[in-house]
Structure 1
Amino acid sequence: MAPYTNADFATAPKIVIHPGMKPATGETQASDSVPAEWRAKVEGTLINPASLLATDYLNHFNEVVMLLGMVPDMPEMLEDAKGWKLKSYPEHFRASGLSYGELAAEAYEHIPAATKSAFELTVDQLAMVIEVTVSRLTTAIEKGDADVIRATAQNGTDVMHILTDRIGAVIAGANETLHQSEIDAMMAAVPSGDITSSGGASQADIDALFD
């Protein structure tokens, strides 16, 4: 899969901010502006000067999303997906081998507070959706219901794509996030029937993460 670029998210659709959402507003306050020193440091790199973030982090999620989408036709892909582990933004870039990897990791310590809040919230949401989808698919495969397997994979990866788009928008300089209730509603859009796993994450885990 081709790497994401900043241009891919320049026109990302705006998500309405809901009361109580963190951050409470999509507008960056003056105190949250990117320091001029760091704007200069990232000039000429693939690090966005509006946020001090880079889109290569999205490639950390690309493979697992692709694998989960393949599970209905190739159930063995689920085992590969189970091996995926979340890396923090600095961890990803320090291990990336990219020419600007160390700079990206250092810049992360200087990104605006509102940007970091929106970014980390959405990354946590995406990681939990991945975990829940893996758990649900494990149970669906054990039950042998092909329709539930396909619907679960489709539902989960659809939500993952929405969240990766949100992360991309934050990287491009927008601080909007999805309210947890929106994610709950999307993750509930699966066929009726018992798909609750006896182990791993569940929808309650998503709720608890943001209580």
Structure 2
Amino acid sequence: MTSPAPKISPIDAAARGEATALGAARAAELRAANINPRTGLATDYLNHFNEAIMLLEMIPDLPDCADDFLSWEPLSYAEHFRASNFKARDLAIQAYDEADPAIRGEFDGITTTMTSILTAVGDAMRKVRHDNSRAQLAIQATGWVKPLVAHAGGIINGADDEADVDRIMTA
């Protein structure tokens, strides 16, 4: 005797990629806007951190770039999109707000860490005036933040090895 298949809510079905017509239309809208439909996140936000990294990388060779880095200000996901020219900024903010709380929480944890590092480095650079000290701070910060940006990109893109294996095995 077999038991009936468990009922799956529309939300669970969409999360598993079993899109309804409405879910498929929403996924297509998100993809067209460069927002990952599985996570509800857009890589465009990482440009905010990549800008700071680029400025940090320039400091050892061009010490005057420290002033440019010191003008960098942290922005939340929503603040970044509100201030950007991103075509689908309202959709990006809405998708972020509707994203799975676990995914969004992991992502926010990484971006909070990056913001803390960059803010602390900026504070330290304001206290020291020697180009060599600022260059060392820039090199260290770059080494800390770059891997976090890559990790955040993995979260945005839905990098989940176990889910990928499951999807391949059921295909």
Question: Does the TM-score normalized on the shorter chain lie above 0.5?
Answer: yes
| Identity of matched residues, % | 33
Decide whether the 8 Å contact of 2:41 with 2:96 is kept in 1: yes
CA RMSD of aligned residues (A): 2.7
Rounded to whole Å, the distance in 1 between the matches of 2:138 and 2:50 is 15
1:101 match: 89
Higher mean C-alpha deviation, range 117-126 or range 54-63: 54-63
- 1:122-141 alignment runs, 5 A limit: 122-140=110-128
TM value normalised by structure 2: 0.72
Match of 2:15 among 7, 12, 33: 33
Decide whether the 8 Å contact of 1:91 with 1:105 is kept in 2: no
- CA change 1:31–1:136 in 2 (3 A) is farther
Rounded to whole Å, the distance in 2 between the matches of 1:55 and 1:131 is 21
Higher mean C-alpha deviation, range 90-99 or range 104-113: 90-99
Q: How many pairs were matched up?
A: 144
TM value normalised by structure 1: 0.60
Unaligned runs of 5+ in 1: 1-29, 177-211
Decide whether the 8 Å contact of 2:66 with 2:134 is kept in 1: no
Greater radius of gyration (CA): 2
Letter in 2 for 1:170: I
Task: Identify the structure with the greater helix proportion.
Answer: 2
Decide whether the 8 Å contact of 1:32 with 1:113 is kept in 2: no
1:63 match: 51
- 1:176-187 alignment runs, 5 A limit: none
1:173 match: 158
- 1:69-108 alignment runs, 5 A limit: 69-108=57-96
Rounded to whole Å, the distance in 1 between the matches of 2:140 and 2:69 is 16
2:3 match: none
Higher mean C-alpha deviation, range 96-105 or range 110-119: 96-105
CA deviation map 1:101-148 (0-9, x unaligned): 2111111111011111111000000001101222333344x3x372x4
Q: Give 3-state SS (helix, strand or coil) of 2:97's partner.
A: helix
Rounded to whole Å, the distance in 2 between the matches of 1:158 and 1:96 is 27
Decide whether the 8 Å contact of 2:43 with 2:153 is kept in 1: yes
Letter in 2 for 1:161: K
Decide whether the 8 Å contact of 1:114 with 1:175 is kept in 2: no
